[in-house]
Amino acid sequence: MTPEQMQDGILHGNAAVQRRAMAKAITLLESSRADHREQADGLLTALLPHTGKAFRLGISGVPGVGKSTFIEALGLYLIGKGLRVAVLAIDPSSSVSGGSILGDKTRMEHLSMRMEAYIRPSPSSGTLGGVAEKTREAMLVCEAAGYDVVIIETVGVGQSEIAVHGMADMFCVLQLPNAGDDLQAIKKGVMELADLVVINKADIDPKAAMRAQAQITSSLRLLGMHGNPDHATHGALWQPRVIQISALLGNGVDDFWAAVSSFRDMQTANGRLQLRREKQSLAWMWERIDFGLKQAFRQHPQVKAMLPVLQDDVAAGRIAASTAARNLLLAQMQ
C-alpha cells in the first residue's frame, strides 16, 4: 500500500478499508528506516489538516487499579452514545519485554470486537521519547480517521505519565481506595498533573474510598496553590476533581463522562484546550530536537573517540566536568 493509498483509505475508506489503512500507516510511522521516515512525514503532513477534532483522554494508574476494565466499560459506554473510540498505550516496559501487555486486544474482549473501537498496543521498541512519539503520531492517524475520543493509557510508573500528559487534553489518574497512595503520586509529580482523580473499586471499602476522596481533594487544593497553571484559581477555570467509581460493577462511568464533558466544555470556552495543544506541540518539537542533537553528538566520530577517556577523567576528577563538556563540544564542531 502506498502512502497515498493509506491517506485515501484513512480519510475516505469504508470501515474495513480504513482499519487496514490505519494499521499500515501506523506501521510506516513506527519504522526506523530513513526512506520510510520520509514517506511517513509526508503522510503525516497530509493527514494533519484532518486531525484535532477528537478529545484526547489520558488515563494513568498502577497495575491492579483496574485500568483495562474501566477503559473497556468507558469505551462501550461511549459507543452506546454513538461515538467512535481509539485506545492507544504508552508502556515503558514493552521495550524490555519486546511485546506490550498494555493495549493487548485480548484484555478488552468486548471492546475489541466492536467496529467502532480501534485498539492499538504500545510501540514496543526504543526510548520512552521514541515510543511516545510513535503513540502521538498514531493518535493523529486515529483523529484523521474520524475517531471521536482517543484514550491514551499508561501504567502509573515513571516518566511515561508525563509523556501521556504531554499529549492529552485531559489527564486522569486512577487510584485505589487507599488514602496513603496519594503521597506516592504527589512525590512523582503526577498528582499535580491530574485534571481528574478517579477512585476505582470504591465498592470494596466505601469508608476507605470516602477517606481517600477527602484526603486527595485536600492535597489537590494545597498543590493547586502553587501548581499547574492550567488549574489557576480565578475565573471560569477548571478545578481538579476527585470522583468514586466501581468499574467492575459498571457504576460511575456516567459520572466520569459527565466530569470529562464538563472539563472539555470549560477548557474549550476559556481557550485553554487550544492553548494546551499548542504548548504540547512546541514542547514536543523541542523534546525531539534535544534527542536528535544528543544522538548526532554521540555518533560524531571525534566525540566517539574522545568520550570514553574524558568520561573516565571526569569521574576520576582529573578534568572538570565543564571543561570536558567544552572540549567535546569543540571536537564536534571541527
Tell me: does residue 140 bind a copy of itself (CB under 8 A).
Answer: yes
Tell me: does residue 269 bind a copy of itself (CB under 8 A).
Answer: no
Q: Which residue is listed with cell 481517600?
A: 212
* Least separation in angstroms between CB 311 and a copy of itself: 6
Handedness of CA 56, 62, 66, 68 (dihedral sign): positive
Tell me: does residue 227 bind a copy of itself (CB under 8 A).
Answer: yes
Q: Which residue is listed with cell 470549560?
A: 266
Tell me: does residue 214 bind a copy of itself (CB under 8 A).
Answer: no
Distances (CA, A) of 189 to 80, 157, 213, 267, 327: 35, 11, 18, 22, 36
DSSP assigned state of 246: B
Which of 15, 16, 115, 183 lies at the binding interface for a copy of itself (CB under 8 A)?
183
Contact 126, 19 (CB under 8 A): no
Closest CB to a copy of itself among residues 111, 190? 190
Tell me: does residue 192 bind a copy of itself (CB under 8 A).
Answer: yes
* Least separation in angstroms between CB 73 and a copy of itself: 30
- Give the bridge partners for 241, in sequence order: 196
Tell me: does residue 136 bind a copy of itself (CB under 8 A).
Answer: yes
Tell me: does residue 315 bind a copy of itself (CB under 8 A).
Answer: yes
Distance of alpha carbon 322 from alpha carbon 129, whole angstroms: 26
Tell me: does residue 319 bind a copy of itself (CB under 8 A).
Answer: yes
Binding mask 273-312 for a copy of itself (x = CB under 8 A): ----xx--xx-xxx-xxx-xxx-xx------------xx-
Distance of alpha carbon 66 from alpha carbon 253, whole angstroms: 13
Q: b or e along 289-302 (b: 16 or more beta carbons within 10 Å of the residue's beta carbon)?
A: eeeeeeeeeeebee
Binding mask 89-128 for a copy of itself (x = CB under 8 A): ----------------------------------------
For residue 196, the SS3 value is strand
* Least separation in angstroms between CB 86 and a copy of itself: 17
Provide the grid cell at 79.
459507543
- Which region, judged by CB under 8 A, interacts with a copy of itself, from 109-117, 145-153, 215-223, 235-243? 215-223
E strand segments, the chain: 55-61, 85-90, 117-119, 149-155, 170-175, 196-199, 241-244
Provide the grid cell at 89.
498505550
Number of residues that bind a copy of itself (CB under 8 A): 58
Distance of alpha carbon 107 from alpha carbon 104, whole angstroms: 6
Provide the grid cell at 67.
485500568
Distance of alpha carbon 31 from alpha carbon 36, whole angstroms: 6
Tell me: does residue 52 bind a copy of itself (CB under 8 A).
Answer: yes
Closest CB to a copy of itself among residues 20, 288? 288
Binding site for a copy of itself (CB under 8 A): 37, 41, 44-45, 48-49, 51-52, 133, 136-137, 140, 180, 183-184, 186-187, 189, 191-192, 219, 222-223, 226-227, 277-278, 281-282, 284-286, 288-290, 292-294, 296-297, 310-311, 314-326, 328-329, 333
